[in-house]
Structure 1
Amino acid sequence: MRLFGYARVSTSQQSLDIQIKALKSAGVKPSRIFSDKASGNTQNRKGLELLQMKVEEGDVILVKKLDRLGRDTADMISLIKTFDDIGVAIKFLDDGISTEGEMGKMIVTILSAVAQAERQRILERTNEGRIEARLKGVKFGRKRSIDRKQVHNLYKADIGATEISRKYSQINRL
């Protein structure tokens, strides 16, 4: 039996350090830790693909948290089935559960469904808050650094786009 580890964060600004440290503490060799810095929504997860190619029957994959492995319930079930078909178990460190045995698979399936529902509820609440803020006049996004009226006036005065761009590039550098 060999131990492997998988870690994932959603954005490049987030750090994998906590997950990797936990995997190492659980006994996974650094050379057997695979990771991705990509949203769970993306299909393109090279670290997970490499992990799938490396593991063999009898191996165990450690993952810090349930939501770090699959994108949603269907993806989680598919991954568990894929690994189970080749005789590889998955253990979730924080949750203290494993896919070993039928009860473990059932618990993981239920928990991933609950996690997916919670993610959906968070998105709904975030969107509701954004809509309410807009109704109250809150503006989102970066403030404009260029006055549109000035640009329009320069254009009307037959100054070309390149010259306008140069002019504003110099102003923004100050």
Structure 2
Amino acid sequence: MRLFGYARVSTSQQSLDAQMKALKAEGVLGNRIFTDKESGSHVDREGLQMLRLKVEEGDVILVKKLDRLGRDTADMIQLIKEFDAMGVSIRFLDDGISTEGTMGKMVVTILSAVAQAERLRILERTNEGRQEAKLKGIQFGRKRSVDRNTVLALYYKGSGATEIARQLNIARSTVYKVIKDSQKLLV
């Protein structure tokens, strides 16, 4: 039996250090830890693909938490089935569960469904909050840094987009966008 590890964070700005430390503390060799710095919403991740190629029957994959392997229930179940068919089990350190045995597979399936439901509830609450904020007149996005009136004044005085862009130190596409937006308002 060989130990392998898998660690994942959602963005390149996040750190894998805590997961790596936990996996090494369980006896996983550094060269047997596979990592990804991207969303767990799909299974087409480079580190996960490499792990799939390296493991063999009798191996055990350690993952710090259930949601580090994936977020989508269907994908998680498929991964668990895939590894099970290869004779490879998965242990989730923080959750204290394993895919070893029938009961372990059932628990993992239930927990992954709960994790996905929680994620959907978070997205739902976030969207409701955005809708409510919009109704209250709150503007989303970056504050405009271009004085639209100046752009339009120069344009209506006969200056071309390139000249306006150079004079205001903005992109020509920005000038065109301001002009186009103002024309929509006139219609």
TM-score when normalising by structure 2: 0.86
User: What are the within-5 Å matches in structure 2 for residues 34-113 of structure 1?
Assistant: 34-113=34-113
Residue 42 of structure 1: how far off its partner (Å): 3.6
* 8 Å contact kept, 2:65–2:94: yes
CA–CA separation in structure 1 for the residues paired with 2:15 and 2:167: 40
CA–CA separation in structure 1 for the residues paired with 2:62 and 2:83: 12
CA–CA separation in structure 2 for the residues paired with 1:26 and 1:107: 22
Residue identity in the other structure for 2:14: Q
Residue 137 of structure 1: how far off its partner (Å): 1.6
* 8 Å contact kept, 1:63–1:69: yes
Q: Which moved more, 1:91-100 or 1:70-79?
A: 70-79
CA–CA separation in structure 1 for the residues paired with 2:168 and 2:110: 56
CA–CA separation in structure 2 for the residues paired with 1:64 and 1:119: 19
- Greater gyration radius: 2
Judging changes above 3 Å, is the alpha-carbon distance between structure 1 residues 167 and 20 closer, same or farther for their aligned structure 2 residues?
Answer: farther
* 8 Å contact kept, 1:35–1:47: yes
Residue 46 of structure 1: how far off its partner (Å): 0.6
Q: Which moved more, 1:35-44 or 1:53-62?
A: 35-44
Residue identity in the other structure for 1:147: D
Q: Which runs of 5+ in 1 are unaligned?
A: none
Q: State the identity as a percent.
A: 74
Residue 89 of structure 1: how far off its partner (Å): 0.6
Tell me the alpha carbon deviations over residues 39-87 of structure 1, each in whole angstroms, 9 at most, x when there is no partner: 1224430110000000011111111110111231110110000001111
Residue 159 of structure 1: how far off its partner (Å): 2.3
Q: Which moved more, 1:103-112 or 1:7-16?
A: 7-16
Tell me the alpha carbon deviations over residues 111-168 of structure 1, each in whole angstroms, 9 at most, x when there is no partner: 0011111111111111111111111121111101101121122222332322322223
Number of positions where the alignment pairs a residue of Structure 1 with one of Structure 2: 170
Residue 104 of structure 1: how far off its partner (Å): 0.3
CA–CA separation in structure 1 for the residues paired with 2:72 and 2:156: 53
1:144 aligned partner: 144
2:5 aligned partner: 5
Q: Which moved more, 1:46-55 or 1:17-26?
A: 17-26
* 8 Å contact kept, 1:70–1:79: no
Q: Does 1:159 align with 2:159?
A: yes
Residue 32 of structure 1: how far off its partner (Å): 0.9
2:179 aligned partner: none
User: What are the within-5 Å matches in structure 2 for residues 94-133 of structure 1?
Assistant: 94-133=94-133
CA–CA separation in structure 1 for the residues paired with 2:69 and 2:76: 7
Q: Which runs of 5+ in 2 are unaligned?
A: 171-187
